[in-house]
Amino acid sequence: MPIDPQEFADLPAVDVHCHPFLNRGALDAETFTNVASFGGGSQAYMEQGGVAFTDDIRHELQGLKRDTLYFRRMVRDLAAYFGVAPTLDAVLEARNAAVAEGYSDYVRDLYADANLTTLVMDFGYPVPNLDVAQVSAELPVEVVPVYRIEPLIVELLRADIGWDEFERRYIDTLADALASGAFRGLKTVIAYRTGLDISPLSRTRDQGYQALDAIRRGLGGGSMKKLRDHLVCRALELSMEYDRPMQIHTGMGDFEVNLPLCRPSFLMDLLRFPTFRACRVILVHTGYPYHGEAAYMANVLPRVYCDISEGTPFAGHAARRIISEVLEMAPPSKVLYGSDGFGVPEINYTSAKLGREALAGALDDIVAAGMLDRADVRAIAGGILGANARRIYRLD
């Protein structure tokens, strides 16, 4: 008998990777489409390319965003939740009415329908960064903040300071974020900047000094990469010192990602280096579409984990295949559910619904292949949906 996703309905979900958002109030179709879509371009994107943002261009971009299978699925999920016709207009009418009656109550009921209990949030996006207390006050679920290092690096580069002061502020800020408990881990998006081919020898303090000095003097020679590589190494060291996980973006992202250099395998030399072996590292997005590499790394590197966000929900029906392929090599205890939700609460909701279905389908396939006992499925599902993340982030 096939595994029914409803068998997992009572298992709480921890969204191990998403971004903070605030109540935007009532949204029209264009605004909702823009804030709830993955990719598809924007007015700024087109105008930077010399394309006038006419009504025809607006309609073109809106059509592309609504045409993705992910967006279509979200409209259907919300229509079912509200009991309305599966059209964007009908969904938004019901959604806006619910928000008007009380935003926090709406989110509570929405997330309860998906049994989504906890959001691990990277507060480095959006920019300007949102206030942790304000976001937490609006959301009726557990919020677990994560500190992204890149906004701090930008701030320090803009300051008129030398290496000693740069280093002191960088270390003190990250240490305070972790020691105070205000943030439960660190994150880097260096894949967006200079790529993941980071030498473990970049950890030396001399490299930081040399790189910043070269930047200040306007020299090239890859100085920015040398500085960023060094600062990632220092962040890993702090994660170990304070026994907190470190998230590293791998794989796909928005159009700015350094796609050739975002493959998880570029991190092998760094993460297998003896100095960093104790660090708990979460490969965000499990490197999709290079998720096989991440799964292998989670197998051979004891402290490396895979988070299946972004492929779930933005790759739509591929979520089932992605989970199945990650489980080909990664131990189930090292696989974490996530969404990469942002902007509005509905992304996290539809991702949790899809993620539960995809997980049930993947585990059903694995049982049918004779690789797993049916009796073990529920415990594995509970781990991937939430228990693994709670263990790694020590939330209980």
pLDDT of residue 305: 98
pLDDT of residue 259: 85
CATH number assigned to the domain with residue range 5-28+114-393, chosen from the 4 options 3.20.20.140, 3.30.1330.100, 3.20.20.370, 2.115.10.20: 3.20.20.140
pLDDT of residue 220: 79
Tally the C-alpha atoms within 13 A of residue 10's C-alpha that lie toward its C-beta. 3
pLDDT of residue 41: 86
Percent of the chain with pLDDT over 90: 95
Residue with tokens 């509970």: 382
d(CA 185, CA 393): 8
pLDDT of residue 114: 98
- SS3 at position 355: helix
Q: Please compute the mean of the pLDDT values over residues 98-116 and round it to a whole number.
A: 98
- Alpha-carbon distance values, 290 to 54, 251, 316 (Å): 37, 6, 17
CB-based contact 233:202 (threshold 8 Å) = yes
Which of 218-222, 261-265, 309-313, 391-395 has the lowest average pLDDT? 218-222
pLDDT above 90 for 328: yes
Q: Which residue has the higher pLDDT, 254 or 322?
A: 322
Break the chain into its structural domains and give their ranges. 5-28+114-393
pLDDT above 90 for 8: yes
CB-based contact 130:20 (threshold 8 Å) = yes
pLDDT digits (tens, 9 = 90+) for 46-102: 999 999 999 999 999 999 999 999 999 999 999 999 999 999 999 999 999 999 999
CB-based contact 87:79 (threshold 8 Å) = yes
**Taking Cα atoms as reference points, which of 255, 248, 198 lies closest to residue 225?**
198
pTM of the model: 0.97
Residue type, 383: G
pLDDT above 90 for 221: no
d(CA 70, CA 312): 9
CB-based contact 229:220 (threshold 8 Å) = no
For 330-350, give the DSSP string. Answer: S-GGGEE------SSHHHHHH
Q: How confident is the model at residue 254 (pLDDT cuts 50, 70, 90)?
A: confident
Listed as own residue / partner, the contacts of 298-301 with beta carbons closer than 8 Å and 24 or more positions apart are 298/329, 298/330, 298/331, 298/334, 298/335, 299/329, 299/330, 299/331, 301/271, 301/272, 301/277
pLDDT digits (tens, 9 = 90+) for 353-380: 999 999 999 999 999 999 999 999 999 9
pLDDT of residue 350: 98
Q: How confident is the model at residue 384 (pLDDT cuts 50, 70, 90)?
A: very high
pLDDT above 90 for 244: yes
pLDDT digits (tens, 9 = 90+) for 159-173: 999 999 999 999 999
pLDDT of residue 142: 98
Q: Please compute the mean of the pLDDT values over residues 253-280 and round it to a whole number.
A: 94
pLDDT of residue 55: 96
**pLDDT, the chain, mean:** 97
pLDDT above 90 for 258: no
